[in-house]
């Protein structure tokens, strides 16, 4: 794929738009369709498109496998951590109402954080699985 001009140029044009759309889906999930799961998959598909066209080595320069592994755990820990913080602040586990004076404002903040955790883990797992497939194929 590396030597095909048109896919290369189109990928360079598309990847930023895909990543931006993923962020839109991530943070607009409260108001429209979407949320962490969908955003994570779309975000990962941007990386996967890049990896398909430019190869596994270039993808490894964008984000190292070690960092991807880190983010797999980080998203889940962010989600679980939000629950622990709500206990520390005097609520139940994953009870976001205690995050702010106003119950609804706390809920909005909590939902935003856990959705971000979902998105990070989903995106990292998808990128990791694809990465492992590419390494396997290169052999």
Mask of contacts with other proteins, 53-92, x by CB under 8 A? ----x--xx--xxx--x--xx-xx--xx--x---------
Could you tell me how many residues of this chain bind other proteins (CB under 8 A)? 60
Count the neighbouring beta carbons within 10 Å of the beta carbon of residue 78.
18
For residue 93, give every residue at least 6 positions away whose Cβ sits within 8 Å of its Cβ, in sequence order, or none: 83, 84, 86, 87
Structural tokens at position 114:
């856990």
Contact with other proteins (CB under 8 A) among 8, 27, 38, 91: 38
Residue 5 near other proteins by CB under 8 A: no
Indicate the residue among 54 and 130 with the shorter CB distance to other proteins: 130
Residue 19 near other proteins by CB under 8 A: no
- Phi, psi values for residue 101, rounded to 5°: -55, -50
Structural tokens at position 66:
């070690």
**3-class secondary-structure state, position 32:** coil
Q: What is the 3-state secondary structure (H, E, C) of 46-69?
A: HHHHHHHHHHHHHHHHHCCHHHHH
Q: What residue ranges bind other proteins (CB under 8 A)?
A: 25, 29-35, 37-38, 41-42, 44-45, 48, 52, 57, 60-61, 64-66, 69, 72-73, 75-76, 79-80, 83, 93-94, 96, 103-105, 107-108, 110-111, 114-115, 117-118, 121-122, 124-126, 128-130, 132-139
């Amino acid at each position: 794929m590396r030597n095909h001009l048109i896919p290369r140029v189109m990928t360079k044009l598309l990847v930023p738009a895909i990543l931006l759309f993923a962020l839109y889906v991530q943070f607009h999930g409260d108001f429209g369709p979407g949320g962490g799961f969908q955003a994570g998959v779309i975000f990962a598909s941007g990386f996967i498109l890049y990896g398909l066209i430019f190869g596994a080595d270039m993808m490894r320069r964008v984000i190292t496998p070690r960092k991807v592994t880190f983010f797999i755990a980080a998203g889940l820990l962010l989600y679980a951590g939000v629950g622990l913080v709500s206990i520390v602040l005097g609520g139940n586990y994953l009870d976001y109402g205690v995050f702010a004076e106003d119950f609804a404002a706390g809920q909005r903040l909590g939902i935003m954080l856990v959705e971000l955790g979902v998105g990070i883990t989903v995106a990292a797992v998808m990128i990791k699985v694809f990465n492992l497939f590419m390494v396997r194929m290169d052999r």
